[in-house]
Amino acid sequence: MTKIIGLTGGIGSGKTTIANHFQSSGIPVYIADDEARKIMQTAEVINAIKEAFGETLFEGVVLKRDKLAEIVFNDPEKLQQLNEIVHPAVKRHFKQWLVDHKGFPIVIYEAAILFESGNYKNFDLIITVTAPLESRIQRVIERDNTTREQVLGRINSQWTDEQRVSKSDFVIENIDIEIARRKTDEILKILKIKQNEC
C-alpha cells in the first residue's frame, strides 16, 4: 500500500526545494500548485472562474493570474470561492496520478495550504517546512518580483508556522539548505523504515 506523505510550508519557506530533493532521491512528488495552474487552463475551470469572478479577469482565454491573486489574497471569501472551484479538480487529478504511481511505496503531495484546505486529513504523515519570516519575505520578493505588502498579505492568508508544526509529524527548518537536505534524508530513512514495517 502506497504511503502518501503531505509536504507543506508557508509561502517562501522553500518547500519546493525540499520537494525537489525528495524527487532526486527517487520519490514521486505531486506539486499541487503547479498542477492547479495547469488545471486552471481547462475549459471547465475557466468557465467556473468567469462565472464567479467575471470576464474582466481574462484576456481572451488567458487568465490574468496576478489580478486574480490580488482579489483573493485580500478577501478571504473570494479565496474560499476560488478554492471551491480549483480544489475538487486538483483532487480528481491527484487520484489519477496516484493510480499511475501505485507501484511506489512512498509518494509526496506538496501544497502550500494543506491544512487550510482540510486536505491534510487524507495523508498518512505530514512534513512541514519552516523558515524565518524575513527570509521568506525576501525569497518571495525576489522570486515573484512583488512587494513586501503583497507578500505579507499572502502570508497572513495562510496558517502560521506554529499552527502547521503543531499538526505535523516532521519539521524541516530551512535556513541553511545543506542542513535542510540532511534533515530531509533523515526523514526519508525513517519513512522507508516505517513503510517496511507495514
Give the residue numbers of the binding site.
12-17
Strand partners, 59: 62
Give the residue ranges of the annotated binding site for ATP: 12-17
CA 75 to chain centre: 20
Rounded to whole angstroms, how far apart are CA atoms 6 and 15?
A: 11
Measured from the Cβ of residue 13, the count of other Cβ atoms closer than 10 Å reads 27
**In degrees, to the nearest 5, what angle opens at C-alpha 164 toward C-alphas 162 and 166?**
70
In 114-176, which ranges are continuous DSSP H helix? 133-144, 148-156, 161-166
